[in-house]
Every structure is written in structure tokens, then in C-alpha cells.
A and B are shown apart, each in its own frame.
Chain A
């Protein structure tokens, strides 16, 4: 990677972050959705604090999973509509790298806020204060995997000019391992007795693996779909 593609990478990253933070961007919409999903849960399962504490990590993880999918279908669609995606595809920077920059910007503006507000939502679910840091840590390790897997679905659905539900149908089954190990790590830290280490390291491995697979597959989908 030469210096010019490095600066192009940073420029694209900053551009995407600015776009999603400023008016019209949906940066905090995911966090708001996360809040609402978590608030809906006690209405569905009842206000029993013991029950909520037991299923709290699962609720937080499910909410984060749905919230991180929410904004994904606009990831490439906006750029496709105004033509800047075509410029990215013709540019000198490898498309995989451009896709990676967009994904990282997307995670920083939609995934990271989920991690930050998770402890507050955990309080409402009666998750122990001492465990909140660990739950947030599992989200920090796992939400990048959700973004990078969702990236593939976003690229496929923009290539077919279909968003929304198709993306969720394609992506959700692929995120099952992340959900399993995320909730398992959080539960291990709160109630035990299983050790925290193995599920957490597997969660990190899933994030790193999807960091490699996601941009390559998404770039291939864009190339094959938009040519």
C-alpha cells in the first residue's frame, strides 16, 4: 500500500464519518433503535428484575445485532445513487481497501455508539454493575464482525438495487456464530461457571476473520454486480 492510497484511505474514512455524523446521516439512529428495542423487552417478558438480569446479556446482544443491521442498507446505496461509488471503483485505490475504509467508518459511527450506551441499558435490565464493563467489552469485540459480515449483504443488495429486508435475510443467518459466542462470553463473565476466555477469544477471531473475508467478498459483489 503506497502513501497515496494510504491518504486516500484516510480521506475516505473521514469523509464517510463526516457524512454520517452531520445532518441527514444516521449515526445515532442505530443507538436510538437499540434503546427502543431494549425498552420493549420488559413489556414482552414482564418486569421481573431477576429474569431480566438473567437474560439481560442476550437482550443486549440481540438489540445490538438488529441495530447494527439497521443502517447497513444505506452503506453503499447512497454512494451508488450519487455516482461516487463508480468513482471509487475506477480509482487507483484497490476496491477492497475502499470498502474497508467505508466499513470502518460505518462501525465507528454506528457500532461504537452501541458499545458506549450498552452499560446504561444494562442498568435498566438489572445487569450487575461489575459485569457491565465485560458485556460492553464483548460488544466491542463482536460488533466489528457484525459490520464486516453485513458489508457483504450491503454490497449484494446494492448490486441488485434491493435493500432492507433482503439484506437482513442474507446476513442474519451468517451472524449466528457471533451471537452465540458474544452471549456466551457475556454470560460466562456474569453468572459463570464456564470460563470467559475461550468464547471471548473465539469472538475476537470471528471479528478478525470477517475483517478479511468481508471486504474481499463485498468488493467482488460490487465488481460483479455493477459492471
Chain B
């Protein structure tokens, strides 16, 4: 089936509606397995049990970044090919991506308190994620303030692409800024390779988070399509009413 077949919202809904329960069930199963394995993973010799925050923190960070990637692809679909579902996909991805970025920041702060001794440090990675959250909030603000949904989604598409160009630059400059102001004073992960006893549950959790993202994303797309239909019906009803009254 070509991508263009999905352009028809009715066909898209017919495909998505039966798919969603299965996706949700798979997400739940993968989460159960991942959480069980994460609980069984050995504690860090320095950080103790707090290292388990990583199993939520790292996948959330990945998905937060992937959300912007998805929005950029959707933005190309909106602006270049005028794919009718692309702007629905972009709009649905924005709050979900923002939520994952927020989870990443909150878990990072909670993890930082016992290990670094403070909730927030101006570490390059944390700061980059914070800027990503700010950009997400900017896109959401665009959607909120637009009176006309089509116009709002095109504006948000342009902002997504500008953000996609800018994010690597921001990432680079924040790294540069951090090394200038604050030479490595923080415990960093990496260096030595991660042990399989931790890596396997981490990957399972990443898979679970990815499935969760797409389940939420497809559900949000379905809701957005239905919301637009309701809006169209309301406008038609109002028009009929106005004509009858005139």
C-alpha cells in the first residue's frame, strides 16, 4: 500500500482503529518485561538503586528528540507534498514529544539530586534538552494562538523545520559554552561500555517507550481527525442556521 492511500482520513481511521488495541497491548507487555528486567538489574557500585532512574530517563530523552524528527518529516509532508495527514501527524506529535522531553528533564533532576547533590546543573545535555522543551512549547503556543487550524499547522511546520536546522547548532553551542564555563566537574556516564545486564533492560525499555509513543501518536492523530470533523460539522450547522434565520 502506498503512502498516498493513507491520505484519505477515512481509510486511515479504518486501518488505525483495529490496530490501536494491539499496539496498546504490545506496549503494556513490553513495559511489564522491561520494568521486571530493570528491577532485576544490578545496582551501580557508586550510585546504588538510583541508577534505575536511567531506565526511564534515557528512553524519554531519545523519544523526546525523535518527536522533533517526526515533526520535521511531517512538516516536509505539509509544505512540500501537502499531504493531508502530515499536518495532523505533526500536530499530534508536538505535545507527546514535549511530554517525553519533560519526563526526561524531571527524571534527570530527580536523579541529579542524590548523585550530583543538586536538582539542576547547567550541564550541556540538560541545557540542550531544556532548549528542546522551550522549542516544543513555542510550537504548542503557535497551535494555541492560531484561529484557523490549517494556517496554524503551516506556521508550525515552518517553525519545526527552522528548529530542525537550529537544534544541532544549539546543541553544539551549548556544548561549547559548557566546556568553557564549567570544565568536567560532573560524573559522566559512558567511557566504559555498559554491561549487558543493564543494557538489555535499557533496550527493552526503549522499545516499550517507542511503542508507547506511536500508540499515543496514532490515537492523537485519530482524535485530531475526529475533532476536525466535529468542527466542520459545527460550521456547517451554524451556516445552515444562519441561512434559515436570514
The interface of chain A, by Cβ under 8 A from chain B, is 152, 156, 159-162, 166, 169-170, 172-174, 176-177, 180-181, 184, 194, 202, 206, 209, 213, 217, 220-221, 224-225
Query: Could you tell me the distance in whole angstroms from the C-beta of A49 to the nearest C-beta in chain B?
Result: 23
Q: Does A174 lie within 8 Å of B173, measured CB to CB?
A: no
Q: Does A160 lie within 8 Å of B146, measured CB to CB?
A: yes
Cα–Cα, bound, A156→B156 (Å): 9
Q: Does B159 lie within 8 Å of A176, measured CB to CB?
A: no
Asked if B83 lies at the interface with its beta carbon under 8 angstroms from chain A, I say: no
Q: Does A174 lie within 8 Å of B162, measured CB to CB?
A: yes
The interface of chain B, by Cβ under 8 A from chain A, is 79, 131, 134-135, 137-138, 141-142, 145-147, 151-152, 154-155, 157-159, 161-163, 165-166, 169-170, 172-174, 176-177, 180
Cα–Cα, bound, A160→B146 (Å): 6
CB-contact partner of A180 in B138, B141, B177, under 8 A: B177
Most buried by A among B142, B154, B155, B162: B162
Q: Does A160 lie within 8 Å of B142, measured CB to CB?
A: yes
21 contacts across the A-B interface (CB closer than 8 A): A152-B162, A160-B145, A160-B147, A160-B151, A162-B145, A166-B141, A166-B142, A170-B141, A173-B131, A181-B173, A184-B176, A184-B177, A194-B180, A202-B173, A213-B162, A217-B161, A220-B158, A221-B155, A224-B79, A224-B157, A224-B158
CB-contact partner of B131 in A170, A176, A194, under 8 A: A176
Q: Does B155 lie within 8 Å of A224, measured CB to CB?
A: yes
Q: Does A173 lie within 8 Å of B138, measured CB to CB?
A: yes
Query: Could you tell me the distance in whole angstroms from the C-beta of B127 to the nearest C-beta in chain A?
Result: 9
Query: Could you tell me the distance in whole angstroms from the C-beta of B158 to the nearest C-beta in chain A?
Result: 5
CB-contact partner of B166 in A174, A181, A220, A225, under 8 A: A174
Q: Does A184 lie within 8 Å of B151, measured CB to CB?
A: no
Query: Could you tell me the distance in whole angstroms from the C-beta of A110 to the nearest C-beta in chain B?
Result: 22
Q: Which residues in B have their C-beta under 8 angstroms from that of A162?
A: 145
The 5 tightest CB contacts between A and B, nearest first, are A177-B173, A224-B154, A173-B134, A180-B177, A170-B138
Q: Does A170 lie within 8 Å of B170, measured CB to CB?
A: no
Query: Could you tell me the distance in whole angstroms from the C-beta of A24 to the nearest C-beta in chain B?
Result: 27
* Interface SS, B side: helix
CB-contact partner of A217 in B146, B158, B176, under 8 A: B158
Known: A166-B145, A177-B169. A225 touches B162 (CB 8 A): no
Q: Which residues in B have their C-beta under 8 angstroms from that of A174?
A: 135, 162-163, 166, 170
Q: Which residues in A have their C-beta under 8 angstroms from that of B137?
A: 169
Cα–Cα, bound, A172→B170 (Å): 12
Q: Does B173 lie within 8 Å of A225, measured CB to CB?
A: no
CB closest chain-A residue, reference B166 = A174
Cα–Cα, bound, A193→B152 (Å): 47
Q: Does B155 lie within 8 Å of A159, measured CB to CB?
A: yes
Q: Which residues in A have their C-beta under 8 angstroms from that of B165?
A: 213
Q: Does B180 lie within 8 Å of A217, measured CB to CB?
A: no
Query: Could you tell me the distance in whole angstroms from the C-beta of A211 to the nearest C-beta in chain B?
Result: 14
Q: Does B145 lie within 8 Å of A159, measured CB to CB?
A: no
Cα–Cα, bound, A206→B173 (Å): 11
Most buried by A among B137, B138, B157, B163: B138
Q: Does B180 lie within 8 Å of A156, measured CB to CB?
A: no
Cα–Cα, bound, A109→B134 (Å): 30
Known: A156-B142, A162-B145, A217-B161. A180 touches B155 (CB 8 A): no
Cα–Cα, bound, A166→B142 (Å): 8
CB closest chain-A residue, reference B146 = A160
Query: Could you tell me the distance in whole angstroms from the C-beta of B240 to the nearest C-beta in chain A?
Result: 28
Q: Does B162 lie within 8 Å of A180, measured CB to CB?
A: no
Q: Does A169 lie within 8 Å of B141, measured CB to CB?
A: yes
Q: Which residues in A have their C-beta under 8 angstroms from that of B146?
A: 160
CB-contact partner of B142 in A161, A170, A176, A181, under 8 A: A170
Query: Could you tell me the distance in whole angstroms from the C-beta of A91 to the nearest C-beta in chain B?
Result: 22
Query: Could you tell me the distance in whole angstroms from the C-beta of A200 to the nearest C-beta in chain B?
Result: 13
Most buried by B among A173, A177, A221: A173
CB-contact partner of B176 in A156, A169, A173, A180, under 8 A: A180
Q: Which residues in A have their C-beta under 8 angstroms from that of B141?
A: 166, 169-170
